Every structure is written in structure tokens, then in C-alpha cells.
Structure 1
Amino acid sequence: MANVVVVGGAGRMGQTIARAIAEAEDLTLVGLVDVRQPADLFHAPYKTALSDFDPASIDVVVDFSTLETARESILWCIRNQRHAVVGTTGFTPHELEEMEAGIKGSSGVVIAANFAVGAVLLQRFAKLAAPFFTRVELIEYHHDQKVDAPSGTALETARVIREARAEAGVVTPPEPTTLEALPGSRGADYGDGINIHAVRLPGLVAHQEVLFGREGEGLTIRHDAFDRSSFGAGVVLAVRKVQSKPGLTIGLDPLL
């Protein structure tokens, strides 16, 4: 039985994750952390800072907050040799290197842009398809309250595709559009023939399409998260796995 604290527990994702952990038979929700009181405490104590908890009472810290708070949560876990599962994105490569070097003993840290299993599988399928198509377009759709664009998931998908194409020696043809009537009409240029488009609309949750094209044919791979509960199962999986996976793990894929 693992004791879990959720940082960012008052947010929509935090509430979803707290519920998933509270309902898991082999996990115990022992606290929520946020600057404002969560709507539902799930019978767990609420505090405004992770440091208010006794480290000995916690096995895993789950963080779905802000980048600044997530940095503090990870440092707290490393310092106290606890485990961390983080759904906040935006860490620089240098930060990740420092993080990996600083982790001691059996402590594990999992950082993932997306905890929906289907989204991770989409990236696997996209990696398989990438070497066989000359051009790629990514379209990510999110709710209108999302402040960053493109999403961390879209950037990770683009990275996976670019690496697969580079390994296969795919030659990217020149961008066919030489004149944009409106700047940015072709989306953000990730490089190597990969363009990313971000859509923000009320009513959406999290969705992604990868469109591959080559002479005479195309392939579209799509994932839809219709409800935030789809992320709960992935977080619970990560909480279970991180306890036996020391060091830094990026993405959910290595845990599947």
C-alpha cells in the first residue's frame, strides 16, 4: 500500500487524479496540496505546501500544478528520497540532466506530458509510420482554458517522429507553400517537414491528429481524450511503477 500526496489538488486535473488514487485499492491518498482548498478532499488532509507534510508519511508525490511548483516538488522528493510522478511540462534539457544527476538511492521520478495510454500508443504508431512518409502535419485540440501552445504532447510526438525520420535517413522535400496570405497559416514549423497546429475551443478536452502524406496516399492517426478520467489510469500506473524504477523516466511509454 503506497501513500500518495497530490500537489495541485484543487485544479481540474488534480481533482481527477486525486479521485483515481482514492479509488485505487492498493493506494492511499494521504493529502492534497494547493494554494486554494480543493472542492473535494476525498477524506484526506489539505495543506498549502508540500513541506508541511512529514516525508516519512509519503511514498509518492503526484504533481499536476505549475512548472515552478513542480520544480519544488521534485527537489523535495529528491532531498527526502521520495518518489515523484509529474504531469507538468516545460522542463529544460539542462534541468532534466541536473535532476537525473541529483536523484539518489532508489528514488524514482516520472515526468510525462500525457498520461492517457491511447496518446502514448499514438506516439508508438507514429514512430512506426514516420520513415515511410515525406511530410507530416500535427493538429492538437484542447479546451479554451489551456494557456500554452502547442501542447507538450504535440511537441513530444513531433520529436519522436523527427528522430524516427532521421534514423531512417528520410529526405524532407521543400515546403511547397511560398506565400502565406496570413502569417502562420501553415502552422508552427517544427522542422524536418513537420508542422504543428493548435486549436483551442470550449467543449474540447485533449485530442491529437497526426497526418502523414506521400505520393498517392495518406495516413491519419488520431487520439481523443473525451474526459479527464482517461488520464487517471495512466497516473495510477505510473505511481505503481515509479516505486520500483529508480532514476528519471521521461514519458509513460517506458512503463507500459
Structure 2
Amino acid sequence: MTTESLIPVVVNGAAGKMGREVIKAVSQAQDMMLIGAVDHSLEYHGQDVGEVAGCGALEVPIVNDLQSVLVLATQNKIQGVMVDFTHPDGVYENVRSAIAYGIRPVVGTTGLSEDQIEELGKFAEKASTGCLIIPNFSVGMVLLQQAAAQAAQHFEHVEIIELHHNQKADAPSGTALKTAQMLSELGKMYNPPSVKETETIQGARGGLVNNNTRIHSVRLPGLIAHQEVIFGAKGELYTLRHDTSDRSCYMKGVLLAIRKIIQLQSLIYGLEKIL
């Protein structure tokens, strides 16, 4: 495969935990070429991103100017891809910038509001540029969500518990919100009340979303990413759980998204839409 036929990839948030895994995966993919690494952590600026990621020198320095790297990504025969694992505060502008430059964003950063996703969708469609927003790149999580949607046809009561490391900035997780959204698409109202509840501590019953589903968020060191969907009925519980023990489990989904987005001309939300 010639250099001109490789997919050019920019990684935004390259020095973060997920960013480093993406660097490793992209550098080892035979059909991709890492052309840029961006991170706002000053301690890494100028360092070889491969050395920071622990996969050996790649001759790609970490910089803090996304715009300049996006410009570089436009100078290739194949339209470039930006993989974003940054912070909820900046991801909306990152994605808009990428689309404006004709670079296709694959977004793993969660925290975008429904209104922001809708606006980005209109912007991507107008620009005929693919955009993938993926709350969770794990195939196992997709299978859990599909099983939850099937189980919800037979249960009236359900609650979601999501557990993440204590450096995660947003709560609830995008994955939990996506799961709740999938349950709401059945058109059912969950958790009919059997008693008038009173919270003596605000939030004790979790956050209430979509069709009366509750989400509980846990943040602790020692966790990575975990989710339970618990269905209840008289005399039984049905529990679905997904646990992450290593961030490398997401890379199959990330690489799939990079390959698929080249064929897209609009925004797609959720890994299950491209599997």
C-alpha cells in the first residue's frame, strides 16, 4: 500500500490515556498514517508522540495548535480523519473546526448536548462531511445495549448504574445516556410509582432521564469504565453488566470508525450504526 493511499489521521488529546491507545493502534494499522498529534498538556509539547505513548519514536511531535494540524491534514489525496478524545468543554469547537477544514471527526469525547449534536449534524450534512460521535467504542457495550433494548420489552422497571474513574469530567456518561435513549425509543414509560418518594439528600435516587429512567453515576480511582442495566419485576432481577479492564478494548471500534467514516457524508451517532 502506497503512502498516498493511506488514511491520514490526526489524534486530538494524544497524551491522554485514550489518546495514547489510539496512537498505538493507528501507528500499527497498515492502512493508516499518523500525521498529527495535538494535546494541551504543556509538559508533552515537542515530544515524540510515539515515545509518550510507549510504542517507540514515530517522528510526530505533540503540538497544541489544532488548526495548524488540520491544515496539514487537508494536504493529502485522501480526506483526513481527526480522532478526538479531549474534554467536554472543547469538543464542540474541535468538531466544528475539523468539519470546516474538510477533516472527518471521529469523536470519543462525551458531554455533547443533544442540541450540540443536532447542530453538528446540520453542519456536517451541509459540508457533505462524515462525522461519527461514538459514546463507547466497545463492541461488548453495543451488545449490552442491544440486549437491554430487547429486555425492556418485557420489564416495566429499569435503572442504570455507570461507574468510571475519578478523572472523568462529565456525568452521567455518554454511554449511559445512549443506553437510556435506546430504551426510550420503545415508547414505554418505565418505573411506574408504587409509593411517593422523598429524597432526604438531593440526587440520592440518581438522575431522571428519558421515559422515567434513572441513571446513577459513580466516580472512584481504580475504576476504568463499567455499566449495569438492572431490570426488576416481581420475584426476579435481570442484570446486564459490562466491565472494562484495559482501554485497548476500544481500539477495534476506533479503527473501524476511521475506516467507515471515509464513506460517510453526514453525522452518525453510535457504534451500532456502523457495525
TM-score by length of 1: 0.90
Distance of 1:6 and 1:171 partners within structure 2: 40
Matching residue within 33, 36, 44 for 1:28: 33
Distance of 1:195 and 1:137 partners within structure 2: 5
Matching residue within 45, 48, 54 for 2:64: 48
Whether contact under 8 Å (1:15, 1:40) holds in the other structure is no
- Counterparts of 1:90-239 in structure 2, within 5 Å, are 90-103=111-124, 104=126, 106-164=128-186, 166=187, 169=188, 172-176=191-195, 178-190=197-209, 192-239=211-258
Q: Secondary structure at the match of 1:132?
A: coil
Taking a change above 3 Å as real, the CA distance of residues 180 and 2 of structure 1, as seen in their structure-2 partners, is same
Look up the equivalent residue of 2:49 and give its one-letter code: L
Q: Secondary structure at the match of 2:227?
A: strand
Report the equivalent of 1:77.
98
Taking a change above 3 Å as real, the CA distance of residues 117 and 177 of structure 1, as seen in their structure-2 partners, is farther
Identity among equivalent pairs (%): 42
Look up the equivalent residue of 1:52 and give its one-letter code: S
Aligned residues: 253
User: Larger RCO: Structure 1 or Structure 2 (Cα < 8 Å, ≥ 6 residues apart)?
Assistant: 1
Gaps of 5+ in 1: none
How far 1:46 moved relative to its partner? 2.4
How far 1:63 moved relative to its partner? 0.7
Gaps of 5+ in 2: 1-5, 51-57
Look up the equivalent residue of 2:163 and give its one-letter code: Y
**95-104 vs 60-69, which moves further:** 95-104
Deviations 1:56-113 (A, max 9, x none): 2461011111234322322222222221101112223332232222224552000111
Taking a change above 3 Å as real, the CA distance of residues 244 and 182 of structure 1, as seen in their structure-2 partners, is same
Whether contact under 8 Å (1:234, 1:252) holds in the other structure is yes
Q: Secondary structure at the match of 1:4?
A: strand
Whether contact under 8 Å (2:159, 2:230) holds in the other structure is yes
Deviations 1:146-203 (A, max 9, x none): 2222111111111111222x1xx45642154624454433222225342211112211
Whether contact under 8 Å (1:136, 1:193) holds in the other structure is no
How far 1:51 moved relative to its partner? 1.4
RMSD: 2.1
Report the equivalent of 2:272.
253
Report the equivalent of 1:12.
17
